[in-house]
Structure 1
Amino acid sequence: MDTTRRGFFGAIGQVTIGAAATVAGATSAAEAASEDGHVPHWGMVVDLRKCIGCQACTVACIMENHVPEDAFRTHVSVYELVKDGHDPAMVMLPRLCNHCDDPPCIPVCPVEATFKAENGEVLVDADKCVGCAYCVQACPYDARFINHETQTADKCTFCFHRTQSGLLPACVETCVGGARNFGDLNDPGSEVATLLRENEVSVLRPEMHTNPNVYYIGLDDVLQGRVAGEAAYHPEMPAEVTHHGEGL
């Protein structure tokens, strides 16, 4: 299997991002906040029953956010799960920053570069960040990395630049199975709020009490702690670098 980025792009085919797609329930965060003082609180619900592991979300994120060659802001970990004597089954686990309401990455930052935005996103001020990696170590979701090009902490931002313009995050817009759902958790009529009401949902690492804003439908209990899994696609790395993943 060709695991280089070029080979992966060729295998998956062309990814088309529809620029007209908008965040459900609001044309932009600013306009939504101006209506009756309502402030959206963005969240994501991932329906694992629909994820096919195509990695279109991974590619869209790389292209949209210029993610460097050896890193991911989001990707889909793939596991082989054997349970109750049944035949092995391939299960998918899309992963990204959980944009926690109580993020452990914020208090450890010595220069206050990591902060919580008005709409719930956890962001990094690259002008302040000194690249100490304290936040990388503090994240219980293995969702941060030091960008070797900028020498600052990097991570998923829920595509802040897109949501501020009324667009969906690139990974959501590109999800071919409709597994990723994004919207305002504070709006009871939003798709994400409806999914949370009508389905049994789980979060990763619930024992950490971070109050994440990424929820999963159909998450097997055995996967709740699997946050350091190996992605199905690996960027090309120097020969001396060894990648260690974890298996079940």
Structure 2
Amino acid sequence: MARYGMALDYKSCINCKACETACKEENGILMGADSHRIWVGTGEIEGQYPMLDIVSNTFYPSQCQHCEEAPCEEVCPTQATYYDEGGIVRVDPEKCILCSYCMNACPYDARYVDNRTMTVDKCNFCADTRLARGETTTACQNTCPTKVRIFGDLDDPNSEISEVLRTREHFSLKANLGTKPKLFYLT
């Protein structure tokens, strides 16, 4: 069975929002909605010694980190948040009671209330749409004009994501928390 993850070549992001639009369209989320499954944030990166005066704006695509030790899954009182067979952190809307424990536990702010279903939702790597249809890319990866996102099976040594993670330096957000995110930022 696959163990899915995503690598982000974030320095290639041009903040066009095509990924956000594709995600909303794929998942039936209103285009004007403020809360959604993925987003592109803006941050500042400061240069390292000896060039500490260099500061540049950087775009950071982000979403659920699909942690192997997901705090949101641990605190869910109804087991609405669970891992599927591919290690994707999912939400069962039938079990969600909107207690928001998962929202509070998520260190990545990746959970939000879906006002259509009145459940707490998040990215699921298109598991119930594209992957369920046998496709091998997520909507956000498929639409990105600068190829920022690489999605695939982390356990397949021949997959594109495995090759990229073997050959390029990368980091995970808040790795010090021990959540073991499966979203990797390429440097």
Q: TM-score, normalised by structure 2?
A: 0.91
Letter of the 1:177 counterpart: T
- 1: CA distance between counterparts of 2:34 and 2:17? 16
Q: Is residue 47 of structure 1 aligned with residue 9 of structure 2?
A: yes
Q: Helix, strand or coil: the match of 1:182?
A: strand
Aligned to 1:155: 122
Aligned to 1:203: 172
Q: Is residue 216 of structure 1 aligned with residue 185 of structure 2?
A: yes
- 2: CA distance between counterparts of 1:155 and 1:49? 24
Q: Helix, strand or coil: the match of 2:66?
A: coil
Letter of the 1:124 counterpart: V
The correspondence for 2:66, drawn from 87, 93, 99, is 99
Structure 1 residue 50: deviation in Å? 1.7
Aligned to 1:142: 109
Q: Which runs of 5+ in 1 are unaligned?
A: 1-38, 219-248
Letter of the 1:164 counterpart: A
Of all paired residues, the percent bearing the same amino acid is 41
Q: Helix, strand or coil: the match of 1:162?
A: coil
- CA RMSD in angstroms comes to 1.2
- 2: CA distance between counterparts of 1:213 and 1:204? 10
Aligned to 1:186: 155
Aligned to 1:85: 53
The correspondence for 1:75, drawn from 3, 16, 39, is 39
Q: Is residue 170 of structure 1 aligned with residue 170 of structure 2?
A: no
Structure 1 residue 120: deviation in Å? 1.0
Tell me if the contact between 1:47 and 1:217 (Cα under 8 Å) persists in the aligned partners. Answer: yes
Q: Helix, strand or coil: the match of 2:59?
A: strand
- 2: CA distance between counterparts of 1:217 and 1:95? 13
Moved more, 76-85 or 204-213: 76-85
Aligned to 1:63: 25
Counting matched residue pairs gives 179
Tell me if the contact between 2:11 and 2:59 (Cα under 8 Å) persists in the aligned partners. Answer: no
Q: As a proportion of its length, which structure holds more strand?
A: 2
Determine which structure has more spread, i.e. the larger CA radius of gyration.
1
Q: Helix, strand or coil: the match of 1:70?
A: coil
Tell me if the contact between 1:67 and 1:73 (Cα under 8 Å) persists in the aligned partners. Answer: no
- 1: CA distance between counterparts of 2:142 and 2:27? 14
Q: Helix, strand or coil: the match of 2:71?
A: coil
Q: Helix, strand or coil: the match of 1:178?
A: coil
The structure 1 segments of at least 4 consecutive aligned residues displaced by more than 6 Å after TM superposition are: none
